[in-house]
Amino acid sequence: MSPTRISQSATLIAVLALIGSMASLCVGTSFAKSLFSAVGAQGTTALRVGFSALILLAVWRPWRLPLSARHARVIALYGASLGATNLLFYMALRSIPLGLCIAIEFMGPLTVAVLSSRRAIDFLWIAFAVVGLLMLLPLGDAATHLDPVGLGYAMAAGVGWALYIVFGQMAGSAHGGQATSLGLTMAAIVVFPFGLAHAGMDLFTPSLLLSGLAVGLLSSAIPYSLEMVSLKRLPRKTFGILLSMEPAMGALAGLVFLHEQLTMVQWLAIGSIIAASIGCTVTARGKRNVADEGVPA
């Protein structure tokens, strides 16, 4: 097989893995919000990340592989940003609708995509993504009814998501399963004290533990494993723009699982976002080395 075909196959695998990751995440998040009344956003985050870490530790058994000091530091940063992003996102979901929260949070990876761009064509796809996101955001009078605290949490989650992309690619030079499992373990260490402080021993109710296991599988273990596949094969700007499909995934999850009806403007927004994703995929070049992507060594 020619190097070109190998590169195209690797790109296709990375794109499919990222789509699967976003679909699983949106379904899991829809289910997770139902747990807020029992253990709060903090407890739900702790269950989600904690079970995800346990599952991936059992699957990958990362202690069997060597781990350099450099990789350990990067994975720790990757995991800490992952845990903080999850907690901030769920805190925002307490008072902001899921689709809007995803759209605001997405400004983080979109910023990464803009800063990582090298060619004029990339800005065309970024423009499509921005137009779609603006159509999803409630502007004018509707914006005055948004909870400012929730907005702050969503924007902070966007910063965490941007850092997750940067540190995730750096951690991607390690073994994928090892990086993901150890990263989620670090994320659990970061968020568990918040969940325990808020929910106390209610966090260990058997029925909630079972629900937490399902949330952990759908919202973290499966998506983050698939994302690591993408991070290792796609340039950072391509990964960031492809994630523009997530608000669309969230809207479709709301339609299927929550029976939420979409307006024509929202469908147009989804079309614009998907156009950005398709355009980015079609025009993507092969992955350059780490230095070319501007990632610290």
Annotated domain spans of the chain? 3-283
Better-scored residue on pLDDT, 209 or 232: 209
**225 class by beta-carbon count within 10 Å (0-12 exposed, 13-18 middle, 19+ buried):** buried
Better-scored residue on pLDDT, 126 or 82: 82
CA distance 266 to 254: 12
CA distance 232 to 228: 6
The structure's pTM equals 0.79
Q: State the pLDDT at residue 147.
A: 81
CA distance 251 to 270: 8
Q: State the pLDDT at residue 289.
A: 36
pLDDT band at 87 (very low <50, low <70, confident <90, very high): very high
Query: Quick one: how far is CA 108 from the chain centroid?
Result: 11
Task: Report residue 30 as tokens.
Answer: 């829809």
CA distance 71 to 167: 11
CA distance 46 to 107: 25
Quick check: 65 pLDDT over 80? yes
Residue 174: other Cβ atoms inside 10 A:
25
CA distance 155 to 108: 8
Contact 36, 230 (CB under 8 A): no
pLDDT band at 296 (very low <50, low <70, confident <90, very high): very low
CA distance 251 to 41: 21
For 98-129, how does the pLDDT look when each residue is reduced to its tens digit (9 = 90+)?
Answer: 777 887 887 787 777 777 766 778 788 888 88
End-to-end CA distance of the chain: 31
Lowest mean pLDDT among 63-72, 84-93, 220-229, 285-294: 285-294
CA distance 252 to 172: 30
pLDDT band at 168 (very low <50, low <70, confident <90, very high): confident
- For CA atoms 168, 170, 173, 178, give the dihedral sign: negative
Contact 219, 24 (CB under 8 A): yes
The amino acid at 102: I
Q: How many CA atoms lie within 13 A of 50 on its CB side?
A: 21
Q: Give every CB contact of residue 175 below 8 A, 6+ residues apart in sequence.
A: 62, 65
Task: Report residue 76 as tokens.
Answer: 């720790």
